[in-house]
Amino acid sequence: MSQRMFASDNSAPASPEVIQAMAEVGSAHRYSYGADELSFQAQQTVADLLGLKPDDAISVLVPNGTGANVLGLSSFLRPWDGVIGSPESHITEDECGALEGLRGVKIYHAPSKNGKLSVDIYDTYLPWATNLHRNNPRAVSLTQTTELGTRYSIEELADFGRRARDSSMILHLDGARIANAAVATNPEDPRAALRAMTRDAGVGIMSLGATKNGGLSCDILVVLPQNLPDWALEGDSAPWSVLKLKIQRSQKQGLSLFSKNRYLAAQVLALYGTDLWVHNAANANTQAARLERGLRDLEAKHLRIRVMYPVQANGVWLQMPGEWVKSLQEEFGFYLWEPEGPGPFKDPVARLMTSWDTEEADVDRLLEGIRKRAQG
């Protein structure tokens, strides 16, 4: 197998800058459970990133994105409530039923196209709010970028936010790869894009990914009280401190409170306290675009090669003959998304992910491997 894989951006190592930042935490004793100076700095960094004052953004650090999603949603939804997501969403497919199993929150699966929900789902599910036999749909969960590598535009996210506000619902954003989405949306000013697709779009709860973009093991749960419906604020006139404590208790009970939180904070400061998050995401996106260009050329020449979805960040979904898969996997490392895909040949679909450290040579070797098999 080649040194760098295409299995996942989780397969990539942590950025050297992140490892160095963690090492520089040093051997001194610090207060635990987020009461240390680095953790306070990380909270300030997240607020700055979103263009907010510290009191306008509640952020807690967790070891992974599943924790951020489950804690964020279950801190506000009850077992008789529900959240609407796509069939491919991470909360549906890749969290082992954590939201439903651990916290009892129902997930409704709405139809999607290329991994994206339609804003029309509000019209479908809102009437259920008065049906005592069904869980009350109180949140919509979107993923940016989606599980199929596509992304919502800023305008689409704003539409979801408006409908959420009008419907007194929470808009949740799974942002495991939101850095890739922000860089792809506005390469000249990804920070502005990030703010536009979260703070300005009406997102109330979000996970801000770090692990997939060069972190070691850290994602960030961010709650924006100003974008939450009144019922979620429980009518408190000064909700920030009350909400913060509620979320922290949920974090503790949910087994996601890191005692030596400073090591998570160091990762946040290394990535989001600098432009490292931009550089890492930009490289991953650039290499995915290079891979797509090469595959599109092959697609035009070979009947059974097909790029399945628009390539809008750092993932490429490729349908190819099943007899190629084993040897290519052994050489390059990737996952099958669908063992049996659409079309007359029912060929499998592979997911090919690029990372912060993927190089042009890695992409070119993969393309050459596919090209050789296509030529017989």
CA gap 38, 42 in Å, rounded: 6
Is 15 inside any structural domain? no
pLDDT at 253: 93
Give the CATH number for residue 331. Answer: 3.90.1150.10
Of 255, 292, 307, 263, nearest in space to 366 by CA: 292
pLDDT at 233: 87
Domain match, 238 and 311 both: no
Of 334, 82, 69, nearest in space to 178 by CA: 69
Provide the terminal-to-terminal Cα distance of the chain, rounded to the nearest Å.
21
Residue range 290-313: average pLDDT?
A: 96
Tokens of 166: 């009008």
Total structural domains within the chain: 2
Is 243 inside any structural domain? yes
Domain match, 251 and 306 both: no
Return the number of other C-beta atoms located less than 10 Å from residue 235's C-beta.
Answer: 7
Domain match, 40 and 174 both: yes
8 Å CB contact between 59 and 42: yes
* Spatial CB neighbours of 61, under 8 Å, sequence gap ≥ 6: 34, 39, 42, 218, 219, 220, 221, 258, 261, 264, 265, 268
Q: Which domain holds residue 287?
A: 277-374
Task: Estimate the crossing angle of helix 262-272 against helix 37-49, to 10 degrees.
Answer: 30
pLDDT at 2: 55
* pLDDT, tens digit (0-9, with 9 covering 90-100), for 338-348: 999 999 999 99
Residue that is last in its domain, among 241, 274, 307: 274
Residue range 130-155: average pLDDT?
A: 97
Least confident of 109-118, 164-173, 236-245: 236-245
CA gap 242, 237 in Å, rounded: 10
Whether a cis peptide bond, with omega within 30° of 0, leads into 145 is: yes
Total length of the chain = 376
Residue that is last in its domain, among 274, 305, 324: 274
The mean predicted confidence, pLDDT, of the chain is 95
CA gap 180, 168 in Å, rounded: 30
Give the CATH number for residue 129. Answer: 3.40.640.10
- Judged by DSSP in three states, 174 sits in strand
* pLDDT, tens digit (0-9, with 9 covering 90-100), for 36-55: 999 999 999 999 999 999 88
Domain match, 289 and 175 both: no
Residue with tokens 């990372």: 355
Percent of the chain at pLDDT exceeding 90: 94
Tokens of 98: 């954590």
Is 246 inside any structural domain? yes
Domain match, 263 and 150 both: yes
Burial 36-59, CB ≥16 within 10 A → b, else e: bebbebbbbbbbebbbbeeeebbb
